[in-house]
Structure 1
Amino acid sequence: MESTQARIAVDAMGGDYAPAEIVAGAIRAKEELGVEILLVGDPQQIRDSAQSDSLRQLEIVPAEGTIEMHEEPLSALRRKPQASINVSMNLVKQGRADAVVSAGHSGAAMAAALLRLGRLKGIDRPAIGAVFPSVIAGKPVLILDVGANVDCRPRFLEQFALMGSIYSRYVLGQDDPKVGLLNIGEEPSKGNDAAVRTHEALANQSAFTFVGNAEGRDILSGQFDVIVCDGFVGNVLLKFAEAVGESVLQILREELPQGIMGKLGVSLLRGNLRRIKQRVDHAEHGGGLLLGVAGIAVISHGSSQAPSFFSAIRLAKEAVDHRVLDQIQAQYQKIAAAALEGE
């Protein structure tokens, strides 16, 4: 699909390393991806975080304050209407930006998206979709929800499956995405009551290809393109996967360079090691797309530094270029039309 020049609103004040690392990632995205960047936040802090020459091609949109991690999202958003995440979402609502990227309070980002942008028609709850690597090179798996909804009804998970299937097809390039339900066993009768009812609902639809339950050991196997679960389980899984990737990289750093032969091996395997890092390092994926809201929003890791935030902006650009919102809405229109014909 032909790429357009996406305009990305960047919450420059959100995250553990804001604004310096966020601005650095945004500058790199402007240079390498050709996107238009609107840096949202305190203008003076933004200017102090980077050289003026680097900021010259980036627009700065003033905002006042941010939502702190200890604050309750809804009340804080209402109390701080000019907070950077509120201003960022308003830019999308007003049509001045195509997408928002934030590494700040994830609950506040989701609440701001719902309040400012609203839900897509037919979607009860939005979900955060995160891309994981699999053992098959070039075949990632999309997990959702990874944090937006702690408790989920079967209907919500069915909607997650449809949105995930569309994203996997049009952005990740899987022709016929295989959808699985994260569970404690392969059999349809496994799991709690919600899992059993969800399996039945997924098996009785025709909008996507459901291939059954996925156990924990199946997640990275490449057998599934999309795996759905509630946000509680998904967030635990996401944090664990990030820790595993970091541990693998740390072990490689400690073990490979030992001795002359080790150092020689590192030099010979440099290209392989770089590819290993790209496949297991969560910074390469940048964050998760908030699917189900009427606008494109990427929620990045709170600990994001420049490389991770660059990847988050790239993810937002891909969602814009592939018109993910239009694809999801079109599928729901088809489903609604088919339901009317069946009445």
Structure 2
Amino acid sequence: MSKIAIDMMGTDLGITPIIGALKVFMKKYQDVTFILIGNEKELKTAAEETKLDNTKYEIFATTEIIAMTEGMMEVRRKPDSSMVRGAELLRDQKVDALVSGGSTAAFLAACHFLVGEIPSVSRSAFMPFIPTVKKGKSILMLDVGANLENDAQDLVNFAIMASVYAQEIMHNPKPTVAMLNIGEETTKGKDYHKEAYKLLTNNNKFFFKGNIEPRDITSDIVDIIVTDGFTGNIALKTLEGMAKNLMGVIKHELTKNFYRKLKALSLRKVFRCVCETFDYRNNAAALVIGLKAIAVKTHGSSDEKSWINTLELTRNAVVNDFVQKMTAKLLKGD
């Protein structure tokens, strides 16, 4: 039986969408239990009102909350916060994974200082799924915000770790890797891009296909895209914003008058399919890849649907023993 800890406090929407997602998730899976960390009274009341299965969770009471607007120093200032206690449970191997929708900076600090990275990995990374034009196909992109800067060796490590995930969990035996850059030519980018290109080309642990431009991220050209955290975060948020705005424009134009509404009815299944493909709530979470244990960060504004998909991602990593497999591949000398 796997055990997942959830930092229940400090999100934008509170605990309601998390509790709702847990109710759905508990009915679907019988091999996972949860530790809900946070304000005992609030959690107990919400769980009882929702009639959450009390055989599948326990409450870990804490007295402090790290707010969404607070940073890494709060990890030291608030030792009894839900986020810190969750990281301690993960460090002490009392849970198999930790999930949080709280402050990104604080979560990364807690993971780094309390859990730690795998030997040979100097920096962990956020790794989300990015939808593509091919139905049902997503790619992995990292880093998308765990770091402001990365060096060439970081990108190589990202490629190795993502390749293991693609092989072991996505069942892709030969995942392809590309590096996000301003052009496909080998001479493009900063010095570290050029150095990374050479290292990626000469590494036999994955299949490197060269540079990829931002406009091709969702084009289903490769399976994995590696980049520094600053660039990756901008690219990810641009994609999310563009998808959301595009769907809004389409909806507005289709409902402008009665005639358009009538015509749109015949195409509603098509539009529903498109919206579902690029709905960021399907991919709201990112694995903090590179740690000694499984940690997952989801958006602070995640709703119930986002949280259900976040828990799916977490469970998949746990039941497939991902960290152990990734560690073995990273430490292997060939």
TM-score by length of 1: 0.91
CA separation of 1:277/1:54 partners in 2, compared to 1, >3 Å: closer, same or farther? farther
Aligned residues: 331
Choose which of 27, 51, 59 in structure 2 pairs with 1:54: 51
- Give 2:9's aligned amino acid: M
Choose which of 18, 22, 30 in structure 2 pairs with 1:22: 18
Q: What is the distance in 1 between the residues matched to 2:111 and 2:263?
A: 49
CA contact (8 A) 1:12 1:23 kept: no
Equivalent in the alignment of 2:224: 226
CA contact (8 A) 2:160 2:330 kept: no
* 1:127-276 alignment, distance < 5 Å: 127-276=125-274
1:201 Cα deviation (Å)? 1.0
Equivalent in the alignment of 1:295: 293
CA contact (8 A) 1:40 1:84 kept: yes
SS at 2:126's partner residue? strand
**Residues 86-95 or 203-212, more deviating:** 86-95
CA contact (8 A) 1:10 1:26 kept: no
**Residues 203-212 or 93-102, more deviating:** 93-102
Q: What is the distance in 1 between the residues matched to 2:251 and 2:312?
A: 28
Give CA deviations for 1:258-287 in whole Å, capped at 9, x if unaligned.
444544444444433332222111111121
Equivalent in the alignment of 2:281: 283
CA contact (8 A) 2:10 2:68 kept: no
**Residues 32-41 or 145-154, more deviating:** 32-41
Q: What is the distance in 2 between the residues matched to 1:312 and 1:169?
A: 20
- Give 1:185's aligned amino acid: G
Equivalent in the alignment of 2:65: 66
Q: What is the distance in 2 between the residues matched to 1:173 and 1:270?
A: 33
CA contact (8 A) 1:38 1:61 kept: yes
SS at 2:189's partner residue? coil
- Give 1:59's aligned amino acid: E
CA separation of 1:155/1:268 partners in 2, compared to 1, >3 Å: closer, same or farther? same
CA contact (8 A) 1:135 1:222 kept: yes
Equivalent in the alignment of 1:98: 96
Q: What is the distance in 2 between the residues matched to 1:96 and 1:15?
A: 24
- Give 1:67's aligned amino acid: I
- Give 1:311's aligned amino acid: N
CA contact (8 A) 1:63 1:84 kept: yes
SS at 1:146's partner residue? coil
CA contact (8 A) 1:189 1:196 kept: yes
- Give 2:70's aligned amino acid: E
Q: Report the aligned-residue RMSD.
A: 1.8
Q: What is the distance in 1 between the residues matched to 2:53 and 2:114?
A: 29
1:101 Cα deviation (Å)? 1.0
Equivalent in the alignment of 1:341: none
CA contact (8 A) 2:19 2:50 kept: no
- Give 1:28's aligned amino acid: V
CA contact (8 A) 2:128 2:286 kept: yes
Unaligned runs of 5+ in 2: none
**Residues 274-283 or 128-137, more deviating:** 274-283
Q: What is the distance in 1 between the residues matched to 2:20 and 2:9?
A: 13
1:63 Cα deviation (Å)? 1.5
TM-score by length of 2: 0.93
Equivalent in the alignment of 1:43: 40
- Give 2:141's aligned amino acid: I
Choose which of 9, 12, 20 in structure 2 pairs with 1:13: 9
